[in-house]
Structure formats: C-alpha cells, structure tokens
Amino acid sequence: MNGADVLCDVLLANDVTVCFANPGTSEMHFVAALDRKPEMRCVLGLFEGVVTGAADGYARMTDRPAATLLHTGPGLANGLANMHNARRAFSPMINIVGDHASYHLPLDAPLTSDIEGLAAPMSNWVRRIAGPEDVQPATEAAFRASLTPPGVTTLILPADAAWGDAAPASPGKVVLPPPPALDRDAVRTTAAAIRAAPGRVGMIVRGRAARADALEIAGQISTAFDVRLFGEVLIARMQRGRGRVAPTRIPYPIDAATALLSDIDVLVLVGGKEPVAFFAYPGKPGRLVRDDCQVLTLAAHGDDLHAALEALRDELGVKPSQQADFATAFPDDAAPSGGLTDDAIALSIARKLPDNAIVCDEAVTSARRFFALSAFAAPHDYMMGTGGSIGGGIPMATGAAIACPDRKVINLEADGSGMYTVQGLWTQARENLDVVTIVFSNRTYAILHGEMKNVGVNAIGENARRMLDLDHPALDWVSLAKGMGVEAARADTCERFDALLDSALSRRGPFLIEAVI
C-alpha cells in the first residue's frame, strides 16, 4: 500500500466520504487510490472554483469537511476565491493539493510554484506531507484542524509521498477535543448588560447560533428582554421560515446599516464579529455601531453557541417555556403579475418555496427583498457567499445538493456572479443534482453602478460602461445551461416565471430559469 492509499483510508475512517476533484498528473497515484475506494464519492468539477465552492456548500450543510483534490499551485490558485468564502464562513474543508515529487522541485519544472505561499492567505492551517510515513499523521492533523474550530485546511501531497510505500494502516477515528468550556463571566456580563439597557440591546447570531433551535432560544431572550436579533451582512447559514425566529439582516449599504444600529447601546456577538462596512468610502464610517456602543462577545466561533444561549437565557431568568416571536403568514401573499422584476421573483420564490429547501443566494443586488420575505416562507436553510468573493453561488448549491440529496436546492444567482464559476452547472448535470438555478438576468454589474454613484460619479462614459455592463452581447443563459447539459428556459413575465418555477419544483434534477429583468 502506498501513501495515497493511507490518505484515503484516514479520510474514510473519519467519515470524509466526498472528494470534490479536478486532478492532474501529479495526483495520478491519488486518483488510482481513490479508484480502489468505491465508498468515496468523487465529484469532478471542470474548474477548481467549482471544487472548493462545492466543498464549502457541503460543509455548511453537514458541519463536516469534504476533501478536495487540486492540481499543484495553479489548481490551488483557481480554488482560492471560494476557499476565501469558506474561510469567512468557518466551513471545515480539507484541500489536498498535489505537488511534484520532492526531489523534482529543485529542477523548477514549469508547474513548480510556492504552494505554501499561495495556500496560506486562504487557509487556517497548511502542512506539507514529509513522506509516505507522514501521510497518516498529517491527514489526521488536517482532519482535526478542519474541525477544531471549523476551518479551511490545506494539505500538500508530494507525488513521491503518494506513491511511496507506507506501512499498512488501520486508521481509527480522530478524537476531537471538546469545545472550550462555557465562559460564565461572559454570560453574566452579557445578562447584566441586557438588563441594564432594555430595548437598546442588539444580538448578532451566526454559525450554529443561527440554527432553528438556537434561534428559538435567542428569540425567547429577545421577546422577554426586547433584544433585537440580527444576522450578519453576509449570512453563512441561517435556518429560516414560518415558525422560526427571524433575525433582521444587517444591510450592505452603510447608511442603512448605521441607521438600523443607531439606537443600539449594547451589541452582543454570538459566534461572530462586530459588523463593519464592507468597503470604506470617503467620509463614511468603517464601524457600523456607534463608537460608544458596548460590544460584548457572549461566545465565539468554536464555542458551543447553543449552550451559551441556553446559559444566557437561564442567567436572565427566562423560562424554557417562554414563547418567542416568529413570523406566521405572508403579510401580502398576492401572486405577482405582469412584467418581471427582481422583487416579483423574490416574492414568487418565497411563496412557492418547498418545505425544507436550501436557498443559496448569490443574487447580490437583485434578491435583496428575498431575505425579508423568507421569514414567511416554508422552513428552509438560507446561505450566502460570506467573503465577498464572487462565484460562490453555483458551486455552493452544487455542494449543498450533494450533502442533502433529499432536499430541493434553490440557487438565486446574479448573471455577473454566475459567470465566474458557470462550469458548476455541468457538475449538477453530471450528478443529476436537484438544483433549480434562477439567474437574475439584468445584464449589468448592478452593484457597481450603485458604487459609482457612491463615489460621486453620476454620469458614466464609454470606458466605465464597458466595464460595468454585461450587454453587447447579452448572455444567453438558456444556451449556456444547455451547453452543460442542464435544461433551461427563459421568463420575462411573472406568469411565465411562476409556471417555470412550478414545473422545476415538481420534478427532480437540475433546471435553470433565466429571469430577464
């Protein structure tokens, strides 16, 4: 048995059973080893951004790492942008990057590059396997590092470590350390602050604090002490919909965000960081809360967030039977009609969302209304790109569908963003994944038109227009999807959109709707 076999065995022993892959020559022994392990599901992406983005989506839905297989420095480089999103989402992930045999590196063959240097900015943990005997400890360390606390790990596999003889291994399960003990001081401090400032306390939930059960506890506290619940500007995952407590998302535009938070005297963080402006603008603040706002961390990433919320509830004397406020029915459930608009699409999807769907939202400007409406939709999981790196949506939907084969995945996708990793549609076809992609086809980087106004440019000229608009020619998403084996159709009225969505939701398998707005 060789090092590559050991690597597979360690992954499988720890229930890492999916490998998103785009292999190259230096990984052939690893591919051969995977080929001897039919219990490992190998999923090909035709571009590495699909591979890492799918691993991110998979991790968000399972709380477990998938492996990725990437080919040397350039293959890793192509996957970095979605590793950035995954890192910001605290998604566990084990990237396995093949490299030249160690003795080949000094020859500086064409593909030679500084893999550690490339990996470090977008990884929480990086290690180069020293040789065949190091495969088992290094892979176990990578698995452990991917989960304590959850994050992106990168393991560099030199070809000679993969093909070299390794002692037969019978790897067992890696024992993970328990989460850090509850910070009782933080619980007491937070409780005191909540009591002291009724109506002027905000709480941001993220990670496992944004799952339905934890949200309910946060909601009980919110109802009992008038604490306002928020989600971050970019939400890694939140359980959402009727019967669930519905935090308000902090808006992306700075003025709206600072207005929302203007009367918050105490901000409690549960699993996240203090929100800041996505970008700096001349004369505008970088922090979104007032400078005199007290920011308290109840629990941080890696802590047991559910236990921390329970402890806070108890400390505040709120009973487990306390009712939490949540949405029940749509405030206005009339079906939209006539010419298609982004808001009409958002409403249609919210109205028709199947139970237990997964929504991957990379529609940027176009689906902004959806999140508010989703509080009234059928229960679902909601996810966004978290690092601001474009091209996460299609891959994330792909990975979520692999993770949850019995759930419908709805991908709200901007046309500009969708093009970055459009290759992911092919993987959806190959794997027959149950994903409905809805492309908001506005034929522009709409967000950048807004940003030009933000920097004081109101009339744009030829050069700017050519960099901000996606017209001349318009993208034809129906043909693009067809080219990758995904059925697709186009809608430019609400009625047509609704009919297509009904059809897509009533069948299994990938479908794309180009919604022309």
What residues between 246 and 275 interact with a copy of itself by CB under 8 A?
Answer: 273
Among 474, 492, 495, 502, binds a copy of itself (CB under 8 A): 474
- Is 122 near a copy of itself (CB under 8 A)? yes
* Binding flag, residue 109, a copy of itself (CB under 8 A): yes
Tell the smallest beta-carbon distance from residue 94 to a copy of itself (Å): 17
CA dihedral sign of residues 354, 384, 305, 293: negative
Residues 359-418 within binding reach of a copy of itself (CB under 8 A): 386-391, 416
Name the segment binding a copy of itself (CB under 8 A); options: 175-183, 276-284, 322-330, 497-505. Answer: 276-284
Binding flag, residue 157, a copy of itself (CB under 8 A): no
Strands (DSSP E) contained in 159-306 are 201-205, 227-231, 238-240, 248-249, 266-270, 294-299
CB 11 within 8 A of CB 359: no
Strand (E) or helix (H) holding 19: strand 18-21
- Kindly tell me which residue out of 419, 489, 496, 503 binds a copy of itself, with binding defined by CB under 8 A: 419
Q: What angle do CA 419, 420, 423 make, to 5 degrees?
A: 75
| 436 SS3 class | strand
Query: Does the N-terminal peptide bond of residue 473 adopt cis geometry, omega within 30 degrees of 0?
Result: yes
Positions 421 through 460 that interact with a copy of itself (CB under 8 A)? 422-423, 426, 429-430, 447-448, 451-452, 454-455, 457, 460
Lookup: tokens for 402: 């692999």
Q: Which residue has the tokens 């596999």?
A: 157
Q: Which residues are CB-contacts of 367 (< 8 A; sequence separation ≥ 6)?
A: 342, 345, 346, 361, 412, 440
Residue 483 lies near a copy of itself (rule: CB under 8 A):
yes
Q: How far is the CB of 195 from a copy of itself (least distance, A)?
A: 30
CA distance 250 to 233: 5
Q: Which of 26, 95, 139, 442 binds a copy of itself (CB under 8 A)?
A: 26
Is residue 464 a contact residue for a copy of itself (CB under 8 A)? yes
Instruction: Burial-class residue 496 by CB neighbours within 10 Å (0-12, 13-18, 19+).
Output: middle
Residues in region 72-91 near a copy of itself by CB under 8 A: 72-75, 77-78, 80-81, 84, 88
For a copy of itself, the binding residues in 170-229 under the rule CB under 8 A are none
Interface region with a copy of itself, contact rule CB under 8 A, candidates 197-205, 322-330, 368-376, 419-427: 419-427
- What residues between 229 and 248 interact with a copy of itself by CB under 8 A? 233-234
If the CB atoms of residues 50 and 324 are measured against a copy of itself, the closer one turns out to be 50
- Total residues binding a copy of itself (CB under 8 A): 106
The one among 13, 61, 118, 235 contacting a copy of itself by CB under 8 A: 118
- Answer for the pair 179, 302: CB distance below 8 angstroms, yes or no: yes
Q: Which of 485, 499, 507, 508 binds a copy of itself (CB under 8 A)?
A: 485
Rounded to 10°, the helix 184-196/212-225 angle is: 40
Residues numbered 320 to 339 that lie near a copy of itself (CB under 8 A) are none
Structure tokens that stand for 1 in this block: 């048995």
Check binding of 508 to a copy of itself (CB under 8 A): no
